[in-house]
Amino acid sequence: FKEKDGGKIVLYMTSMGVVCSTHDKCQAVKQILRTLMVKFEERDVFMSYTYQQDIRDRMQKDFIDVPQLFVDGQYVGVSSCH
């Protein structure tokens, strides 16, 4: 993934609003990045099975909480925004 996402900031997130706390966390991280004028790529796991599989492979887990942030292919962390 480091080679594939080198030089990028990638945010795995969801646009599904049913789980409000998860959706709100994703929106908060996106807003922070936008406020800082950081160019980032959104990968919506709700809309793409490929992105779901990518994040599972990256994290080596079956269940992944979003948002998850990667910079230059390196894992930064998950949001704990409330």
Tokens of 65: 């909480």
How far, in Å, CA of 82 to CA of 64, rounded? 18
At 40-67, the pLDDT tens digits run 999 999 999 999 999 999 999 988 889 9
End-to-end alpha-carbon separation of the chain, Å?
A: 29
Question: Residue 82's pLDDT band (boundaries 50, 70, 90)?
Answer: very low
Q: What is the pTM for the complete model shown?
A: 0.88
Residue at 49: amino acid letter: Y
In which band, very low, low, confident or very high, does the pLDDT at 80 lie, cut at 50, 70 and 90?
Answer: low
- Name the one residue in this structure whose structure tokens are 């646009």: 15
